[in-house]
């Protein structure tokens, strides 16, 4: 009996590989992958020279002479470094094979997917020039080659210049990439992201230059805060060895933060630093998480102003990068990893020890008031780092009720919110209000007064809605924003959180008698083509209502 056979096609489509690799990777993540690849090459170069200076953690202490140039333009993205090049055997057998385990000692690339993933994410056409000092190699290829459907790639062998150099260029950029790189906000995030993630390498002498479109090249620098060694509280240091991973926990006072009564104390400087307080997670010198005060990262208490100035770095160091508790995109920690869970259990006691020691050494009653003042009046980007813990009654707090500013704000300013004087703080847990307040902070009352009024109107409504609900006030079916605002103001006065004069002012502004500042009148004028208030009027609206809004959010934070 004759047996028939059929041929069955096996495997998976090319676009499936690309989709799996790039689905959850952002444009910025792809650029980080390229930079990581260059830094791994620089470290390999240092190791290949034999003797080298090590830092206190056993990693290279200097990357001086190594330089990475990142070029972003409308039609291509290119990275050019002098870090190492590749040996011919690596180019032939390893560099373009997906999922080959990383062979870099103390590397920051994982599983051999970083370079390929970044290329696939950015575009579909590529070229490279790799010079290892002995020979140079050049090739043009496409995404089909990376997936293997085009067979093996042939590269030209050239005469070496005698100096290591590697250039990767991506053209035929994907639509998502083109949209991102032409966005001004994306560029700002890219610059800050590179400064954050490679801060330690910058302090060790590595140079990364960014050339964006036709603008002059910019040399990027570190944004990682150091710890003060000249204060009454010196940095703490703890080392753990967990399997093949060394963990170093360091904490102390931010290098630029000074407490009230210290000679170098500056309220304005301290306010600018608040988004740098918290916990930093670092893997093999690469910053993964910056300034976190989240429970999932080991922060188990509410932020309080007495934690101001606190910086804690948690460094994971391993020769085998796959032992580190980070995700494959290197964008977050693996929060389910046993190693990570073991370490974060030790972090809150470190923060609480800091708070206790700072209270004893720096914060008497007078200076503590000044510290709380710093915490209450910083910008929205700083809000997430502390809990004001202010009480809404005089009996409970022993403090004074919220008053209108004793000094008039400059009403002729061009911005809506004067962060140096505003009292309002919105915790990020109140997501809608937090985002509105953040956007308001970016507005110009001179250039976009109508936008200022629109957002302020929305912010007032969100503020009153939240406060009204937490106060559990009786709501009448006929209640509108004006009547609810009056009820909230009356309750705050009853609790001692605002004075009678401010309550009366708010009541006037929430009535039809308030003219321009009437909620109902503003709403109607917003829709008028002729409505274009002067910046002084818009600024005045915020200045007058700021103390009331601040009192609302203090109440909300204490009673959520």
528 and 426 housed in the same domain: yes
Structural domain span for residue 20: 15-219
pTM score of the predicted model: 0.65
Q: Which two tokens stand for residue 321?
A: 């990068």
322 and 417 housed in the same domain: no
287 and 345 housed in the same domain: yes
Q: Choose among 224, 232, 293: nearest CA to 258.
A: 232
Count: domains in the chain: 3
**Distances 99 to 30, 155, 346, 378, 482 between C-alpha atoms, Å:** 16, 22, 34, 46, 62
Least confident of 205-209, 258-262, 360-364: 360-364
If pLDDT is split at 50, 70 and 90, which confidence band does 395 have?
very low
| Cα(519)–Cα(545) distance, integer angstroms | 12
257 and 168 housed in the same domain: no
Choose the most confident range, by mean pLDDT, from 32-41, 418-427, 535-544. 32-41
| Cα(246)–Cα(557) distance, integer angstroms | 39
- pLDDT of amino acid 95: 77
If pLDDT is split at 50, 70 and 90, which confidence band does 374 have?
low
Angle between helices 114-122 and 27-48 (to 10 degrees): 150
Instruction: Confirm whether 358 is domain-assigned.
Output: yes
| Cα(157)–Cα(513) distance, integer angstroms | 83
Instruction: Confirm whether 381 is domain-assigned.
Output: no
| Residue where a domain stops, chosen among 186, 219, 252 | 219
- Averaged pLDDT, 112-141: 90
Q: Choose among 182, 129, 118: nearest CA to 158.
A: 129
- Averaged pLDDT, 223-230: 93
Phi, psi angle pair for 125, to nearest 5°? -130, 135
- pLDDT of amino acid 343: 97
Angle between helices 481-494 and 500-509 (to 10 degrees): 180
- pLDDT of amino acid 24: 74
Task: Name the percent of the chain lying above pLDDT 90.
Answer: 51
Question: pLDDT at residue 390 above 60?
Answer: no
* CB neighbours of residue 16 within 10 Å: 11
| Cα(447)–Cα(527) distance, integer angstroms | 18
Tens-place pLDDT, residues 299-334: 998 888 899 999 999 999 999 988 999 988 888 999
Angle between helices 27-48 and 184-197 (to 10 degrees): 30
Least confident of 9-23, 75-89, 474-488: 9-23
Q: Which residue is listed with tokens 């610059």?
A: 191
107 and 163 housed in the same domain: yes
Answer left, alpha or beta for residue 74, where phi above 0 means left and psi between -120 and 50 means alpha. Answer: alpha
Instruction: Confirm whether 224 is domain-assigned.
Output: no
Q: Where is pLDDT greater, at 376 or 459?
A: 459
Answer left, alpha or beta for residue 148, where phi above 0 means left and psi between -120 and 50 means alpha. Answer: left
395 and 365 housed in the same domain: no
Q: Which long-range contacts (CB under 8 A, 24 or more apart) does 395-404 make?
A: 395/496, 401/496, 401/497, 401/498, 401/499, 402/492, 402/497, 402/498, 402/499, 402/502, 402/547, 402/550, 402/551, 402/554, 403/498, 403/499, 403/502, 403/547, 404/499, 404/501, 404/502, 404/505, 404/544, 404/547
59 and 182 housed in the same domain: yes
Instruction: Confirm whether 356 is domain-assigned.
Output: yes
| Cα(409)–Cα(544) distance, integer angstroms | 10
Instruction: Confirm whether 4 is domain-assigned.
Output: no
343 and 413 housed in the same domain: no
Question: What is the domain-level CATH number for residue 278?
Answer: 3.30.230
Question: pLDDT at residue 409 above 50?
Answer: no
- pLDDT of amino acid 523: 58
Sign of CA dihedral 58, 61, 65, 67: positive
| Cα(253)–Cα(236) distance, integer angstroms | 10
| Cα(508)–Cα(524) distance, integer angstroms | 17
Tens-place pLDDT, residues 179-218: 999 998 899 999 999 999 999 999 999 999 999 998 999 9
Q: Choose among 384, 392, 382, 369: nearest CA to 558.
A: 392
Instruction: Confirm whether 277 is domain-assigned.
Output: yes
186 and 37 housed in the same domain: yes
Asked whether 552 and 491 are in contact (CB, 8 A), the reply is no
Instruction: Confirm whether 403 is domain-assigned.
Output: yes
399 and 359 housed in the same domain: no
| Residue where a domain stops, chosen among 342, 376, 410 | 376
Q: Which two tokens stand for residue 126?
A: 């590529």
| Cα(334)–Cα(406) distance, integer angstroms | 49
If pLDDT is split at 50, 70 and 90, which confidence band does 9 have?
low
Question: What is the domain-level CATH number for residue 45?
Answer: 3.30.565.10
Instruction: Confirm whether 7 is domain-assigned.
Output: no
| Residue where a domain stops, chosen among 376, 402, 420 | 376
Sign of CA dihedral 460, 463, 466, 467: negative
268 and 321 housed in the same domain: yes
Question: pLDDT at residue 398 above 50?
Answer: no
- pLDDT of amino acid 430: 87
362 and 256 housed in the same domain: yes
Question: pLDDT at residue 373 above 60?
Answer: no
């Amino acid at each position: 009996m004759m047996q028939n056979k059929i041929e069955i096609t096996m495997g998976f489509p090319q676009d499936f590989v690309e989709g799996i690799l790039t689905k959850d990777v952002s444009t910025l993540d792809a650029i980080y992958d390229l930079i990581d690849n260059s830094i791994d090459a620089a470290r390999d170069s240092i190791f290949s020279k034999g003797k080298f200076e090590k830092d206190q953690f056993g990693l290279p202490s200097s990357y001086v002479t190594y330089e990475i140039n990142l070029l972003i333009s409308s039609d291509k993205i290119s990275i050019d470094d002098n870090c190492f090049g590749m040996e011919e055997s690596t180019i032939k057998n390893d560099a373009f094979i997906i999922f080959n385990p990383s062979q870099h000692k103390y590397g920051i690339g994982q599983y051999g997917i970083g370079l390929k993933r970044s290329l696939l994410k950015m575009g579909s056409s590529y070229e490279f020039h790799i010079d290892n000092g002995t020979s140079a190699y050049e090739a043009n290829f496409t995404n089909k080659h990376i997936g293997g459907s085009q067979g093996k790639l042939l590269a030209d062998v050239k005469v070496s210049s005698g100096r290591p150099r590697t250039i990767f260029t991506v053209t035929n950029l994907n639509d998502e990439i083109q949209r991102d790189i032409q966005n001004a906000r994306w560029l700002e995030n890219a610059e800050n992201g590179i400064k954050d993630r490679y801060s330690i390498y910058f302090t060790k002498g590595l140079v990364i230059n960014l050339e964006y479109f036709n603008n002059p090249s910019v040399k990027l620098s570190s944004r990682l805060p150091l710890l003060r060694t000249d204060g009454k509280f010196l940095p703490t240091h703890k080392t753990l060895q967990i399997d093949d991973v060394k963990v170093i926990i360091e904490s102390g006072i931010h290098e630029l933060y000074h407490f009230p009564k210290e000679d170098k104390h500056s309220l304005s400087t301290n306010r600018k630093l608040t988004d740098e307080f918290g916990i930093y997670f670092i893997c093999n010198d690469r910053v993964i998480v910056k300034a976190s005060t989240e429970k999932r990262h080991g922060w188990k208490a509410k932020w309080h102003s007495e934690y101001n100035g606190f910086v804690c770095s948690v460094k994971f160091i391993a020769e085998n990068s796959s032992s580190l508790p980070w995700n494959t995109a290197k964008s977050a920690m693996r929060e389910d990893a046993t190693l990570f869970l073991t370490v974060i259990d030790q972090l809150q006691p470190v923060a609480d020890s800091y708070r206790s020691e700072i209270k004893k050494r720096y914060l008497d009653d007078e200076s503590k008031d000044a510290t709380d003042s710093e915490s209450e009046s910083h910008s929205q980007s700083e809000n997430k780092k502390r809990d004001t813990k202010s009480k809404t009654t005089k009996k409970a707090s022993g403090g004074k009720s919220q008053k209108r500013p004793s000094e008039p704000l400059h009403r002729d300013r061009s911005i809506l919110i004067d962060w140096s004087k505003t009292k309002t703080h919105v915790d990020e847990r109140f997501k809608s209000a937090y985002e509105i307040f953040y956007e308001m902070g970016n507005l110009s009352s001179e250039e976009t007064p109508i936008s200022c009024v629109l957002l302020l109107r929305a912010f007032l409504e969100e503020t009153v809605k939240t406060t009204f609900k937490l106060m559990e006030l009786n709501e009448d079916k006929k209640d509108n924003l004006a009547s609810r605002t009056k009820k909230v103001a009356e309750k705050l006065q009853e609790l001692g959180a605002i004075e009678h004069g401010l309550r009366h002012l708010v009541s006037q502004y929430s009535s039809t008698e308030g003219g321009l500042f009437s909620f109902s009148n503003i709403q109607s004028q917003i829709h008028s083509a002729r409505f274009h208030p002067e910046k002084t009027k818009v600024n005045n609206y915020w200045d007058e209502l700021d103390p009331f809004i601040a009192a609302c959010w203090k109440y909300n934070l204490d009673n959520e």
